Chain A
Amino acid sequence: MASHTAVATKAAAHSHPGYGELRHHFESHEQQKDSATIGMWVFLLTELMFFGGLFLAYFIYRQWYPEAFASASNKTDLWLGAFNTTVLICSSLTMALAVHAASKGKRILLVGFLVATLLLGGAFLGVKAYEYHDKWVHHEIPGDHFECEGCHDEVHTPLFFALYFGMTGLHASHMIIGFGVLLVLIWQAWSGKFTEKWYTPIEMFGLYWHFVDIVWIFLFPLLYLIDRTGRSLL
C-alpha cells in the first residue's frame, strides 16, 4: 500500500518540470535533495580532517620553535594578506548571494554572482601567485636552495615555510578545483538548467566554497599574524 503511494508520488514529481531529473533509485525529490546535502557535509568532514593533519604539524612545531616561526612569519606581507582575506570574503558573499538568487529563480542575477565569485577567486589566486613569486625570488622556498635573511633559527625556519607552502598550496588547489566546477555551473546556469525549485548543485558548491573560505580564515592569523610586534625577536 505504502509502496503504491510512493510510486504515485514519484510519477507526479516526474511530470513536474521545475524539479530537475529524479534519479531512478530515489522515491522523491526531497529524498534526493537531502541525500545530496548530507553527502556534501560528510565530504566536508573529510576535507576538515584532511587539513587537520597540517594544522596538527603546525601547532606542534610552532609550540616547539616559537622564535623560528615568529621571524619567518614576519617575512610575509601582513597587509597583502589582509587584503587577500577581504577578497576571499567578498567571493564568499557573492557565492551566498548566488544561492539566494538561485532560490528566487533569477537566472541573470545568478550568472552574475557566479561570475563575480569566479573573478574574486581569481584575484585571490593572483595575489597568492605574486606572494609565491616573491618567496621564490628570496629563496624562501624550503628545499636544497633555501636561505632566509635575518631569520633566527637556521634549522627550524624551513619548517614554517614548508607549512606555509603546504597549507596555502593545498588551499589554493582547492580553489583551482572550485574554478573548474564554477565554470561548469556558470554554463549550466546560463542555459537555464536551474529553477527556483531545483538548484542543488549551486547550493552544494556554495557549501564547498564557504568551507574553503573558512580554511583561509584560520590560515590568515596562523601564518601572517605571528608576533608582528617583534617581542620574541628582541
Chain B
Amino acid sequence: MTTATPPVKEPKNYLNAEHGLRSWLLTQDHKRIAILYLIAVSAFFVVGGLMAVLIRLELATPAGDLMDSNTYNKVFTMHGVIMIFFFLIPSIPAILGNFLLPLMIGAKDLAFPRINLISWYVYMLGGTFGVIVLLSGGVDTGWTFYTPFSSSYSNGYVVLTALAAFINGFSSILTGLNFIVTVHRMRAPGLTWFRLPLFVWAHYSTSVIMILGTPVIAVTLFLLMLERGLHIGFFDPAYGGDPVLFQHLFWFYSHPAVYIMILPSMGVISEVISTFSSKKPFGYTFIAFSSVAIAVFGFLVWGHHLYVSSQSAYAGMVFSILSYIVAIPSAIKVFNWAATMYKGSVRLEAPMLYAIGFIGLFTVGGLTGLFLAAMGLDVHLTDTYFVIAHFHYVMVGGAIMGYQAGIHFWWPKIVGRMYPRAWATVAAILTFVGFNLTFFPQFILGYLGMPRRYHVYPPEFQVFNVLSSAGASVLGLGYLIPAIYLIWSIKNGEPAGANPWGATGLEWQTSSPPPTENFEVTPVVTTEAYDYTALTLTTQEVTHVG
C-alpha cells in the first residue's frame, strides 16, 4: 500500500515466497514447518522453564514457604512432562532436523510434506491438552506416571496428561517415519550412505528409536487410561496386575527416549566440531555406526531404572552389563570429537563454544550414568539428587547445549542474517557457568542423601541448594540473552551470505535463507562429506561469479 516498503530486492526465498497467516498454517514446506515447530517448542520451553524457576525458588530455603507439598508435586511433574514430551523430544529433530535434512541430502522436501504438517498439528493438539491440564490444576504423579499411584490414588488429571503425551507421541512417530523414508529415497544423485553428513546418520538412528519405541509408550498410556478411567485393570495389584510391568513398558520407551534427545544433539556436535576445526571428523564411519549402535543398545538397558523395584536381581545384572556396553559407542563419539579438534584450526565461535561445553558436560553426565548403572551403588543413589544431576547433565548439558550449538550454527541459514557474535559468546559462557553452578552441587546433595521430589529438606543441605538456585538464575540469563538477540537479528542482523562459517555440506551451497525448493538445480554429489579442499574451490567459484 505504502511506498515505504522497498521493492523486493533479495531473491525469492522460503520466507518471502508467500505471505499471510494462512500461507504459514497450511504450508507444506519443511522449512516453514520447522519454523512453526520452533515457535511452539520455544513456547513450551518457556513454560517448562517457569516451572523450574518455581522449583528453584522453593528450594532456596529448607522450609516449604512458597507452596505446599501438593502444589510442589504438581510443579515438578509439569516441569518434567513439558520439558520431556513437549520440548526435548521434538526440539532438535522437529526443528533443526526438519529444516536441514532435505537440505543436507539435496532434496526438495521431506518425502511426505503433508504428513509433516499433520505432525505439527498433532503436536499442537497434544500440547493443547497439556495446557488444559496445566490450567485446570495439573497432575502430581511425576512425569513417570507410576502405577498404582497414577491409576488409583492420584488426585490430578492423569487421564488428560496421559492423553496429551499419547497424542504427542504420534507426532514424533510421523516425524521419524518421514525422516526414514526421506533418507532412503530422497538423496541427491551421488550421495551414497557413507557420504551423508553425520547429522543425517544421527537423525536416522533417532528416527528408528521413534518408530520402534514410541508406540510402546502409546499403548502403555492407553492401558493406564483404561485402568484409571474405566477400572479395567492391568497394573494395580488390586486388579490382579503387576505394577512392575508398567515400569518395564514405560522405560522400554522412556530410556531410548533419552537417546531421542541426545543423538540429534550429537549429530549437531559432529557438524559443528568439524566445521570450526576445518577438519574432516576423525573416524567418520565410527561416529556414524556409533549412532546406530546407541540406537540399538539403547533399547536393551531400560531395566536399570528398576533396580529398586521388585524386578529380579538376575534381570538387573543383565541390564547392568548392557548399560555399561552402551557407554562404549558414546565414548567413541567423545574421543572422536576430541581427535577431530586435535591439530585442527579451531575457531572459538559461539556454536563451537556450545559444542565444547557439550563435550565436557555430556562426559560428566555419561560417566555418572555408569555410577547409577552399578546395581549396588544405585540402591544408595536411587531417587536422590544425584540422579537429578546426572540426567540434567545429559539432557540440559547435553541435549540443550547441542540444540543451542545447532541454533547458533544454522541460524544464519534459517533467517539469512547473523546474530551479534560477541553477545553469543557471552551467552555460551554464561550458560556453561550457570549450568555447572546449578547442577554440580546436586551431585553432592544426592550423594549426601537428599531425595528428589521433596519441597522441604534438612537445613544442612541449604548451602548446596542456594548455590544451585543461584546458578539457575545465571543459567536462565544464559537462555534469555540468545532469545533476545536471535529475535533482534531477524530484522537487524547483518546479511549472512550462503556460507558464513566456511562449512561443507549441501545446505551451505544454497542461498540463505534457501529458496522454497531448496536448490535451483538438484545438486550432484561427487565427493566425500567434509571435504574442505573441495570447499575452497566452490567458494572461489561463487566469489568469481558473484
- A contacting B, Cβ–Cβ less than 8 Å: yes
Residues of A within 8 A of B (CB): 1-4, 6, 23-25, 27, 31, 34-35, 38-39, 42-43, 45-54, 56-57, 60-61, 64-65, 68, 141-144, 155-159, 162-163, 165-166, 170
Find out whether the CB atom of B234 lies under 8 angstroms from the CB atom of A43: no
Q: Which residues of A contact B524 (CB under 8 A)?
A: 1-3
A212: shortest Cβ distance to chain B, in Å? 15
Q: Which residues of A contact B233 (CB under 8 A)?
A: 142, 158-159, 162
Give the distance in Å from the alpha carbon of A31 to the alpha carbon of B214 in the complex: 27
Find out whether the CB atom of B231 lies under 8 angstroms from the CB atom of A45: no
- For chain B, residues 214 to 270, give those with C-beta under 8 angstroms from any C-beta of chain A: 214-216, 218-220, 222-223, 226, 230-234, 239-242, 245, 248-249, 252
Which one, A1, A45, A163, contacts B212 given CB within 8 A? A45
A203: shortest Cβ distance to chain B, in Å? 16
The SS class assigned to the B binding surface is helix
Find out whether the CB atom of A35 lies under 8 angstroms from the CB atom of B111: yes
Q: Which residues of B contact A35 (CB under 8 A)?
A: 111-112, 181, 184-186
Going nearest first, the 8 A-B pairs with the smallest beta carbon separation are A53-B219, A50-B215, A25-B108, A25-B109, A3-B522, A156-B240, A49-B215, A143-B231
Known contacts A45-B211, A56-B249, A159-B234, A25 near B107 by CB under 8 Å: yes
Known contacts A49-B216, A52-B216, A166 near B173 by CB under 8 Å: no
A160: shortest Cβ distance to chain B, in Å? 9
Kindly report which residue of chain A lies nearest to residue B113, judged by CB atoms.
A25
A232: shortest Cβ distance to chain B, in Å? 18
Q: Which residues of B contact A65 (CB under 8 A)?
A: 240
Q: Which residues of A contact B216 (CB under 8 A)?
A: 49-50, 52-53
Q: Which residues of A contact B222 (CB under 8 A)?
A: 166, 170
Find out whether the CB atom of A2 lies under 8 angstroms from the CB atom of B184: no
Find out whether the CB atom of A143 lies under 8 angstroms from the CB atom of B111: no
Kindly report which residue of chain B lies nearest to residue A144, judged by CB atoms.
B231
Find out whether the CB atom of B211 lies under 8 angstroms from the CB atom of A46: yes
Find out whether the CB atom of A142 lies under 8 angstroms from the CB atom of B522: no
Find out whether the CB atom of A162 lies under 8 angstroms from the CB atom of B189: no
Give the distance in Å from the alpha carbon of A23 to the alpha carbon of B107 in the complex: 13
Contact bitstring B167-202, A, C-beta under 8 A = 1, else 0: 000000100011011001110011000000000000
Q: Is B517 an interface residue (CB 8 A)?
A: yes
Find out whether the CB atom of A60 lies under 8 angstroms from the CB atom of B242: yes
Give the distance in Å from the alpha carbon of A109 to the alpha carbon of B142 in the complex: 56
- For chain B, residues 96 to 142, give those with C-beta under 8 angstroms from any C-beta of chain A: 107-113, 115
CB<8 Å pairs between A and B, sample of 5: A6-B189, A25-B109, A42-B211, A46-B211, A52-B216
Q: Which residues of A contact B4 (CB under 8 A)?
A: none
Which one, B173, B184, B219, B231, contacts A51 given CB within 8 A? B219
- For chain B, residues 464 to 513, give those with C-beta under 8 angstroms from any C-beta of chain A: none
Q: Which residues of A contact B180 (CB under 8 A)?
A: 38, 42
Q: Which residues of B contact A1 (CB under 8 A)?
A: 524
Q: Which residues of B contact A42 (CB under 8 A)?
A: 177, 180-181, 211
Contact bitstring B317-337, A, C-beta under 8 A = 1, else 0: 000000000000000000000
Give the distance in Å from the alpha carbon of A162 to the alpha carbon of B223 in the complex: 9
Find out whether the CB atom of B107 lies under 8 angstroms from the CB atom of A155: no
Find out whether the CB atom of B214 lies under 8 angstroms from the CB atom of A46: yes
Give the distance in Å from the alpha carbon of A202 to the alpha carbon of B248 in the complex: 38
Known: A35-B111, A38-B181, A159-B233. 10 other contacts (CB 8 A): A3-B522, A35-B112, A39-B111, A43-B177, A45-B211, A50-B219, A52-B219, A56-B248, A142-B239, A158-B240
